[in-house]
């Protein structure tokens, strides 16, 4: 199985934050044990970088990148023309970053791990939280 992740669920999993839902945590654990794949859109990595940079935790960002590179069940999916075409058609979500993440999920026809209420309410993709 394949899932796409939003920024905060990935960050919360990697930081072992209690904000992560039980179901989302189980999906990330399954990816780490090789039982499923989690797709990480590049915009998610850039948002992670931004959040950690603001918190003066760039060394943590570098650790996260190394960790993602070392786990075969996390894949970085490119921001390609197919994603851009779908982004241009998503009108129910205003935030561009969220539209890119949702479009990636649509291109791959898979569920999105997110807590974002606006994304969930849009019904553009099936969301897991």
Parse the chain into domains and list their residue ranges: 2-128
Q: What average pLDDT does the segment 109-129 reach? A: 98
What per-residue confidence (pLDDT) applies to 98?
Answer: 98
How far is Cα 100 from Cα 86, in angstroms, rounded to an integer?
Answer: 8
Confidence of residue 102 (pLDDT cuts 50, 70, 90): very high
Q: What average pLDDT does the segment 52-77 reach? A: 90
Fold classified for 2-128: Rossmann fold (3.40.50)
Contact between 48 and 10 (Cβ < 8 Å): yes
Is residue 43 predicted with pLDDT exceeding 90?
A: yes
Confidence of residue 18 (pLDDT cuts 50, 70, 90): very high
Is residue 67 predicted with pLDDT exceeding 90?
A: no
């Amino acid at each position: 199985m394949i899932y796409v992740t939003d920024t905060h669920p990935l960050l919360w999993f990697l930081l072992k934050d209690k904000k992560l839902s039980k179901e989302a945590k189980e999906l990330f654990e399954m990816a780490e044990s090789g039982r499923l794949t989690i797709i990480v859109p590049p915009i998610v990595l850039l948002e992670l970088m931004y959040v950690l940079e603001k918190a003066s935790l760039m060394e943590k960002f570098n650790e996260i990148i190394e960790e993602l590179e070392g786990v075969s069940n996390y894949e970085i999916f490119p921001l390609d023309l197919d994603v851009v075409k779908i982004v241009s058609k998503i009108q129910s979500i205003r935030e561009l970053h969220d539209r890119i993440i949702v479009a990636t999920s649509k291109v791959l026809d898979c569920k999105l791990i997110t807590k974002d209420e606006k994304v969930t309410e849009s019904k553009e993709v099936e969301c897991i939280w």
